[in-house]
Structure 1
Amino acid sequence: MTAVAGAPTLTRWFALIDSDRPEDILDLIASDFRFSIVFGTGAGQATDFAGDRAALEGYLRQREKGVLTHHVVSASADGHDELVLGETRRGDVFESTFVAAARLGADGAVRNLMIGRSPMLELHESD
């Protein structure tokens, strides 16, 4: 994963997802956590994984572990909100572009998380 300053919690989130222990992201979430991950696979197909902690645990059980890596291209924070733009790769090969937004509680735990990804758009290098 590429380290980018600006959204420290989400940057850590994606580092953990790419690690040998992706379930460690559960340590980052608040007790009232809610999320939606819209996982596009191309050709207009997508799955929306959504819910609370139990749903996130289910998402973690079904995902490929140690296959994809997340590369954060840009990151920012505004108060309790963090945003990132990046891409996933399978080895060195582009897999998808993703955006993620998190709202943190006063204690820094993730309360709300929205992630969208699509293989249909590859980011251009900035000029």
Structure 2
Amino acid sequence: MTTTTITPILAQWFEYMDSDDPDRVLGMIADDFVMSVQFSKGAGQSAEFVGDRAGLIGYLEQREKSVLVHHIDIGVTADGCEMVLGRTTRAGEFEASFTATAQVNGAGRVRRLLIARTPEVSFA
């Protein structure tokens, strides 16, 4: 994973997601966590994963482990939120672009998470 120091929570999140043990992100979420992951496979095929902790567990259960690498290309932190633009690669090749926004509480836990990804748009 390419990291950035300007968005330490999301950098850690994607480092965990890229590992053999992505369930470690469960230790990063707040009690009032809510998420939405908009996941496009391209050609108009997409799915949305939503919910609280249980929704995140469901998302983690269905995804491939240790296959994709997240690269954060641009990141910014403002008003308790971290926002990134990045890309995922598979075996070193572009797979998709993604954006992620996380609202972080005072304890450094993720309260809100919104992720969108698509293979249809590359920022390269």
User: Within 2, Cα distance between the matches of 1:24 and 1:67?
Assistant: 17
> How big is the shift at 1:3?
1.2
2:116 is the counterpart of 1:113: no
Gaps of 5+ in 2: none
2:11 aligned counterpart, secondary structure: helix
Alignment of 1:64-103 (within 5 A): 64-103=64-103
2:66 aligned counterpart, secondary structure: coil
1:107 aligned counterpart, secondary structure: coil
1:123 corresponds to: 123
Total equivalences in the alignment: 124
1:66 aligned counterpart, secondary structure: coil
2:60 corresponds to: 60
Letter in 1 for 2:50: A
2:9 corresponds to: 9
> How big is the shift at 1:15?
0.4
User: Within 1, Cα distance between the matches of 2:93 and 2:102?
Assistant: 27
Runs of 4+ deviating beyond 6 Å:
none
Gaps of 5+ in 1: none
Paired-residue identity, %: 45
**TM-score, with normalisation over the residues of structure 2?**
0.97
**Could you report, residue by residue, the CA deviation over 1:12-32 in whole angstroms, capped at 9, with x for unpaired residues?**
000010011100000100011
> How big is the shift at 1:123?
1.3
User: Within 2, Cα distance between the matches of 1:100 and 1:3?
Assistant: 14
2:34 corresponds to: 34
**Could you report, residue by residue, the CA deviation over 1:24-60 in whole angstroms, capped at 9, with x for unpaired residues?**
0001000110000000111112100000001100110
User: Within 1, Cα distance between the matches of 2:79 and 2:64?
Assistant: 33
2:48 is the counterpart of 1:48: yes
User: Within 2, Cα distance between the matches of 1:115 and 1:3?
Assistant: 17
User: Within 1, Cα distance between the matches of 2:4 and 2:111?
Assistant: 22
